[in-house]
Structure 1
């Protein structure tokens, strides 16, 4: 399976590339618009702030290239961490910023409910599956994944939520709308459970 990791200047591209290759993918890291538009599998990684991420995507024309690629129903995209958040309609990190609007919703700061909720949320935590999805094949409900974030995605439609995590109440940790997936955790840092998510994404 050929996978294009979208290079917009934000994210640990090499660790994501290694994880994808470990799972059997042929991987290209690219900011070339024609390469992105022709991809069968896209990965949008990201570490940093929502406004910076959108500014970098737009300055390179990659926002439009992603939209063009997804016109092909056989193309699948996986947003990781900030990459998941950028799928939303709008983000409220610092200033209000328009996102890619691929999955309707907003990104807001996590709100602690008690002294156990520390922001940023860093470390291992579990997924609770909200609905069945092929990306969960052979993965037990309650599996642990590695998180590093202070903001979370609040989808407009509950039907786009496929997993949640019990922290700061209960935040959305995975979304899916048609051929668009997002994960708030880092699958490349989540050992065998993370690699299972990657393999299932490649096999969609």
Structure 2
């Protein structure tokens, strides 16, 4: 609990056990509080940790972490990207199937209304921003467009371009210039 309070007060915290020399037989704990603006993670690896991992919340994209026994706050968010395809080849829409519980259920084309709803909801959420009204930094939403896609649906057109104008939230992938099949392997285009 003391570590959590120290982190919330803005300190990095490390705790180590110390067995003092005789005649003392009591285990002691040394708590070190440090305050620095120059902390950064140099290596990430899995490790055994027997204790409480204390994280108040991650609503503001901060995470409470521990390195070399030192507990600290970091502002790094996972780098994530997803691509939304607003238009797909007929072969994909009729030949590729949605999978549910390991089984094919329906061709992807049957989910047009759900896909449309998702794009509209995504645009609205990105427009509003997080709980503080700030833009989301991740995931990066990439919209793969063709010559006709975004213009055919006035509601989607309005939601996407209103958000793009307000936040600059979308990355755009023009498939007239890039092979759409190759674009899924791209990142930070």
TM-score by length of 1: 0.26
| Higher strand proportion (structure 1 or 2) | 1
Structure whose CA Rg is larger: 2
Choose between structure 1 and 2 for higher RCO, CA contacts under 8 A separated by at least 6 residues: 1
TM-score by length of 2: 0.28
